[in-house]
Amino acid sequence: MNLGIIYKNNKICNHRSLLKVLFNPFLRIMGIQIATLYFPYKDKLGHPVITKCEKQKLKFSFNFKLNENESIKKDRRII
């Protein structure tokens, strides 16, 4: 399972945590999700927040496929 901060061309493009991978599929059924704040002017991640999203059917995605110019910085953040 690929967890951590995902970089594309040395800039943050995504963040995957155990909390988000496990709970977001169930939360998205109700139209909400756990997201991580991102501050582009600092290129830093903030804290997790609950946001609205489009309602979806239950779908798990444990594997995250990396593109050619993407890399993962393994991070010990559970959240």
**Most confident region among 31-35, 43-47, 54-58, 70-74 by mean pLDDT:** 31-35
pTM of the predicted structure, to 2 decimals: 0.73
> What span, in angstroms and rounded, lies between the C-alpha atoms of 10 and 29?
33
Buried b vs exposed e over 1-39: b needs ≥16 C-beta within 10 Å?
A: eebbbbbeeeebebbbbeebbeebbebbeeeebbbbeee
The pLDDT confidence band at residue 50, using thresholds 50, 70 and 90, is very high
Amino acid (one-letter) located at 77 = R
* Chain Cα centroid distance, residue 6: 9
- pLDDT for 76: 57
